[in-house]
Structure 1
Amino acid sequence: MSLTELLRHVGIFGGAVIVCLALLSVFSVGMIIEKHRRFSSASGQSEKFNPEFKKFLHGGDLQNLIEAARQHQNSHVAQVVSAGIVEYDSVGQSGGDPTASLELVTSALRDSISETLIQLKRGLGFLATIGSTAPFVGLFGTVVGIINAFRSIAATGSGGMSVVSGGIAEALVSTALGIFVAIPAVVAFNHFTGKIETFHVEMNRASSQLVNRLFKIPELKGLDLEMAEVKAPTVKKEGPAYATR
């Protein structure tokens, strides 16, 4: 009996389970594609931003770094660096001593890292939920299908091994589909979680390097960075296209 024939013989409840799993699969694939695009953009723009950041760390011009951050607003590193520069400049423009405001700049960097991580993690809970529950949804459909198969045999009073095997095979379709839906979700969740850990390390390293660079150069104190039109890049807010845990 082929898979198509098995699907045709699935009962109403089994069909509902299969439809539910199909919808979960569609949402899972959509989330995987969206997160892949977001993470690829962050990695690509960070690779382009890092050379300018390294130039600044080795004595480069701060204005060039600001311009590079403007041009790579999807870069997680650029977002953190921009937040630190904005805070550093705001302290200088308020008449305070930037060198004495290490805690303020560090706090701004820490807040920026936390906000960026929240944005990067958005939707991953949904993938984790699908990966953990889809097999059980399929198993539930299988159990109900087997129960119905045996009830039908008991009601008719007849049924050989072929009948029982056919009923069980039809019921097991739900379990197979549940596992099929769960595997990509689990693999993607683990992959994206690893990427986020890498991004976190990169942001922490960039923030430490920025603080060391800013607060060891006296000539930058009180410098007018022309930041009136500069804002720390923010991640585009994702619409509620997908449910999150």
Structure 2
Amino acid sequence: MDGLQWLREGDAVTRGVALLLLAMSVASWVVIVWRLRLLLRAGAGVRRAKAAFWQAASLDAALPGMAAFDREGLALPLVRAARQDPGTQGTLAGAGDAAQRLTRVLREALDTVARRLQFGQVLLATVGSIAPFVGLLGTVWGIYHALVGLSQGGQITIERVAGPVGEALVMTAAGLAVAIPAVLAYNVFGRIAGRIEADLEGFAHDLRELLAGGGPPRG
């Protein structure tokens, strides 16, 4: 009996487990491909955008040069946030001195960028954590039904047990096959994203120091 035949002859639980593993695999691979593309472009883009900023003569002149490199829009939001008026006087947004308002808007911009860099990490962690247990559930359920079927068919021999039990163990293997790429991607992407976030935090700190001290010309 091949795997597809075993799946076709399975009950609702067996098919549900298989479909759930398939859905988790597809979702995790979509996130992996998307995040790989994002992070590969983001790392080099942020470094080049920072270099373009510091080589510019003014804030306004820095934006076009940064946009040419920062195609994922990670460093640009920090500069744009720093150029905006954080709020009118008489409101909490406009309270405090210029340095405090600048710190607030840069922190908000960093939080937005960090959420984008971390997008999909929860899904990868979830898939990596529960996929083996979903596969194990399919295995246990398959072994149970295999043993019930064997007990109703006369004498039980090792040959009759090995086939159905071996086919049920395929679900555990499938769960591991879904979980391992998700766990590896979670760890690797988390490390890369952490380095990019640290780079952006350093840039935000330098930008705050520059603008809080009087700032460069804007035009």
TM-score normalised over the length of structure 1: 0.76
Give how far 1:197 is off.
1.3
Aligned CA RMSD, in angstroms, stands at 2.3
User: Measured at CA, do residues 186 and 129 of structure 1 come closer, stay the same or move farther in structure 2, by a change above 3 Å?
Assistant: same
Question: Which residue matches 1:192?
Answer: 189
Question: Which residue matches 2:134?
Answer: 137
> 2:74, 2:113 within 8 Å by CA — same for their partners in 1?
yes
Following superposition of structure 1 onto structure 2, how do residues 21-170 of structure 1 map, counting pairs within 5 Å? 21-56=21-56, 60-71=57-68, 72=70, 74-87=72-85, 100-170=97-167
What CA distance in whole angstroms lies between the structure 1 residues aligned with 2:63 and 2:5? 62
Q: 1:181 aligns with which of 173, 178, 181?
A: 178
Q: Deviations over 1:177-236 (max 9, x none)?
A: 000000011111112211221122111100111122223347x5xx6x36xxxxxxxxxx
Percent identity between matched residues is: 28
Q: Deviations over 1:138-172 (max 9, x none)?
A: 00000011111111121122221011111110110
Compare 10-19 and 148-157 and name the one that shifted more. Answer: 10-19
What CA distance in whole angstroms lies between the structure 1 residues aligned with 2:81 and 2:118? 20
Q: Which runs of 5+ in 2 are unaligned?
A: 89-96
**Bigger relative contact order, structure 1 or 2 (CA pairs below 8 A, ≥6 apart):** 1
Give how far 1:120 is off.
2.0
SS of the residue corresponding to residue 122 of structure 1 reads: coil
What CA distance in whole angstroms lies between the structure 1 residues aligned with 2:71 and 2:213? 27
What CA distance in whole angstroms lies between the structure 2 residues aligned with 1:75 and 1:82? 11
What CA distance in whole angstroms lies between the structure 2 residues aligned with 1:14 and 1:40? 39
Aligned residues: 207
> 1:130, 1:182 within 8 Å by CA — same for their partners in 2?
yes
> 1:77, 1:202 within 8 Å by CA — same for their partners in 2?
no
Q: Which runs of 5+ in 1 are unaligned?
A: 92-99, 227-245
